[in-house]
Amino acid sequence: MRLDLILAVSIIVANLLLGLLVITRNPKNWTNRLFAALSLLMAFWSFVSFSEDETFGRSVINLLKSLDYASASLIAYVFLLFSLNFPKAKLHVKRDLLLFIPTLLLIVLSFTDLIAYVEIVGNRVKFTYGPLGDLFSVYSFLYVVLISAVALFIKFKTLVGVEKSQTFYVLLGLISTSVIAVLTNVVLPQLINVTPAITRLGIYGFVLFLGATAYAIVRHRLLDIRLVVARTVAYSLLVFSIAIFYIGSTVLLTNFLFRTTTSTAQLLIYASLTLVVAFTFQPLRRFFEHVTDRIFFKEDYESTVLLSDLTRTMAETILIDDIAHKLLEKILAQMRITRGAFVLTDAGKIFVSETSGYKKEPSFSEKDVFSLEAIDKNLVFEDLEEGATKELLRRLDVTVVIPLKTQIDHVGVLLLGEKASGEIYSSKDIKVLEIFSPEAAISFENAKSVEKIRRFNITLKEQVERATRELKKANEALKEIDKLKDEFLSIASHDLRTPMTAIKSYLWMALNGRAGEIKNEKLKHYLDVSYTSSERMIALINDLLNVSRIEAGRVQLNFEEAALKPLVDQVFAEIASKTDEKKIVLTYEEQPKLPKVILDKQRFPEILQNLVGNAIKFTPEKGKITVKSSLSQEAGFVEISVTDTGVGMTKEGIDKLFTKYGRLENSYAAAATSGGTGLGLYITKNYVELLGGKIWVKSEVGKGSSFIFTLRIAERSVLDEMRQESEKKNFAASVPKI
The 10s digit of each residue's pLDDT in 572-607 is 998 898 899 899 999 999 999 999 999 999 889 989
Fold (topology level) of 303-448: Beta-Lactamase (3.30.450)
- Give the phi and the psi of residue 96 in degrees, each rounded to 5: -65, -35
pLDDT at 254: 66
pLDDT at 660: 74
Q: Structurally, what CATH architecture does the domain formed by 3-166 represent?
A: Up-down Bundle (1.20)
User: 438's torsion region: left (phi>0), alpha (psi -120 to 50) or beta?
Assistant: alpha
Indicate the SS3 state at residue 170.
helix
Domain 555-734 has CATH 3.20.20.100: no
Give the 3-state DSSP-derived string for 362-416, with helices as H, strands as E and coil as C.
CCCCHHHHHHHHHHCCCEEHHHCCCCHHHHHHHHHCCCEEEEEECCCCEEEEEEE
Judge contact between 103 and 76, C-beta under 8 A: yes
DSSP secondary structure code for residue 88 in this structure: S
CA dihedral for 52, 55, 61, 64, sign (positive or negative): negative
Element (H, E) at 40: helix 30-51
pLDDT at 266: 62
pLDDT at 224: 45
Looking from the CA of 394 toward its CB, the CA atoms found within 13 Å total: 10
Residue type, 595: P
Successive 10-residue mean pLDDT values, the chain, 738 residues: 65 74 70 79 79 70 82 83 71 82 87 79 68 77 72 75 67 71 65 59 58 56 46 55 66 64 62 64 65 55 88 86 90 90 88 88 88 89 85 90 88 90 82 91 85 83 89 87 71 70 82 80 83 76 73 80 94 89 93 94 90 90 94 94 90 79 52 59 89 92 92 92 80 46
| Alpha-carbon gap, residue 572 to 567, rounded angstroms | 9
Judge contact between 399 and 393, C-beta under 8 A: yes
